[in-house]
Structure 1
């Protein structure tokens, strides 16, 4: 009566606005989604590529690595912030050949520390402190080799060359103050999330995530389906060709039987013409049915005896061939961590004792021992023993 709305009318208006917003979200979700076939293709490709990547990582860390079957779903930036560890490492993967797009791998901070420690010949327990540039450099190299091998698997699957650019690793603290668009433009909206369970020996039992923009996921699916159709069409053409040739052969046989049926009296003009046509067909097939002269291979009998002696003068043919002579003072083995600690003045202990003979190698083969001498201003070696 006084122009003011009652509480019931206010509630009705609010409910109407809420239902309108919900319908908009549903429309957006339908626009940013994959069909079941597309999700299955992404899951299959991810499973194959990550299986190869796990083998590569296993060789890098010298541990058994298992990456299980992927789970494909959708997510937003806020979903990651609510469910994933802080901070974590984002590795950007850009495809430069075969595929046009990029995706992101996400690893937990502790997992990165364990992987890098194992790569540096550690036992995987050195996880104290913050992530450094050394960690990012090491994990980038690991991802480069892992995704490189994964690209090879995708190449075989799509039957075309697929290659990536060197990955870029970045520490990201998932919170509200970070703009998702600064990390990757597609993270501002809904995106495809492929989650894997990753196990590294007894040290890691964690989750590895791979994020795709919808356009890139659909592009992979289209190439996957197109290559399969092309392969099936090629097989169908070959099968059709074989079937046609077999049918022609059967028809020729049937026509011959019809013309040559017994007890039919003298051949008619039609039968004579049929025989001539068949004769032409048989003559046309003759190049495919020519006799081939097949004989068993003849080998000289083997008789044991003394090999012929090479004449000494034949060595002259090799006299001018250059060989690389190396004098080796000693060797040692160091971890990547120790090598990175090298500075001017660092002393490296070798496996040779003082006064021990020096090894002489020719083209990498150990042939002699000797001792170091000084000839004017140069070092030299006096051979003391020839290795037999």
Structure 2
């Protein structure tokens, strides 16, 4: 089976992933709020599953020729690679919001990789750990690595060209600064099939609980 044979997500699956993603981002926002001592809002307006070529085309728009990402590999019930991706200009805005307005641009550049890695680690760990916990599976995460490149380089994967990408548009608001970026989970076909099966079990379990509660109310 290749990515060309992938059956698109159902509306039910997309809604479930959207719900999982927003729970994860709420937890990430709470952790970031403690770090930066400012209000942090994180939302996920769109979730989809894409091929590597389709994801590269989205992040590599002409205005986004230079990209920065925090990368962490994960393994366990399913395995793959997690990426937090920003256009380079957005990454500098994020760092300025995280480290504070008093630093010069030169200071921010010096701290960029360290601050990006710490921010990315919080967001990606919250996202992957939340999904793993809600699906009742354990996943291990590698240390964060900051990488730079174009859209295609961002999605080089150990799984090869047949990897699929769980792709999230994310919106940040930190210290009244609005910053947009992407979270991507690269998985090979077997890993994605396993994730899909776990999501189906999760939805079935949640639906069963809701029906049970409704029956008790009646």
When normalised by structure 2's length, the TM-score is 0.71
C-alpha offsets along residues 141-184 of structure 1, whole Å, 9 cap, x if unaligned?
Answer: 2222333333442243113333422122112244xxx6566x43
Of the three residues 123, 139, 143, the one matched with 2:120 is: 143
Offset at 1:58? 1.9
Q: Cα–Cα, structure 1 residues 82 and 145, in superposed 2: closer, same or farther, change >3 Å?
A: closer
Measured in 2, the distance between the counterparts of 1:59 and 1:147 equals 16
The equivalent residue for 1:199 is 173
Question: Residue 40 of structure 2 contacts residue 174 of structure 2 at CA under 8 Å; is this kept in 1?
Answer: yes
Question: Residue 135 of structure 2 contacts residue 202 of structure 2 at CA under 8 Å; is this kept in 1?
Answer: yes
Measured in 1, the distance between the counterparts of 2:55 and 2:207 equals 38
Measured in 1, the distance between the counterparts of 2:185 and 2:21 equals 11
Measured in 2, the distance between the counterparts of 1:66 and 1:49 equals 12
Offset at 1:208? 1.9
Measured in 1, the distance between the counterparts of 2:31 and 2:94 equals 13
Equivalent pairs, count = 202
Larger CA Rg, structure 1 vs 2? 1
The equivalent residue for 1:77 is 56
Q: Cα–Cα, structure 1 residues 59 and 85, in superposed 2: closer, same or farther, change >3 Å?
A: farther
* Helix, strand or coil at the partner of 1:197: strand
Offset at 1:78? 3.1
Measured in 2, the distance between the counterparts of 1:76 and 1:150 equals 19
The higher-RCO structure (CA 8 Å, 6+ apart) is: 2
Give the strand-richer structure, 1 or 2: 2
Q: Cα–Cα, structure 1 residues 155 and 173, in superposed 2: closer, same or farther, change >3 Å?
A: closer
Measured in 1, the distance between the counterparts of 2:85 and 2:153 equals 17
When normalised by structure 1's length, the TM-score is 0.43
* Helix, strand or coil at the partner of 2:64: coil
Q: Cα–Cα, structure 1 residues 31 and 38, in superposed 2: closer, same or farther, change >3 Å?
A: farther
Question: Residue 93 of structure 1 contacts residue 167 of structure 1 at CA under 8 Å; is this kept in 2?
Answer: yes
The equivalent residue for 1:45 is 20
Q: Which runs of 5+ in 2 are unaligned?
A: 212-218
Q: Which runs of 5+ in 1 are unaligned?
A: 1-27, 237-388
* Helix, strand or coil at the partner of 1:208: strand
Give the helix-richer structure, 1 or 2: 2
Question: Residue 76 of structure 1 contacts residue 187 of structure 1 at CA under 8 Å; is this kept in 2?
Answer: no
Q: Give RMSD over aligned pairs.
A: 3.6
Measured in 1, the distance between the counterparts of 2:91 and 2:154 equals 22
Residue 110 (structure 1) aligned with residue 84 (structure 2): no
Offset at 1:109? 2.2
Q: Cα–Cα, structure 1 residues 187 and 51, in superposed 2: closer, same or farther, change >3 Å?
A: farther
Measured in 2, the distance between the counterparts of 1:54 and 1:158 equals 21
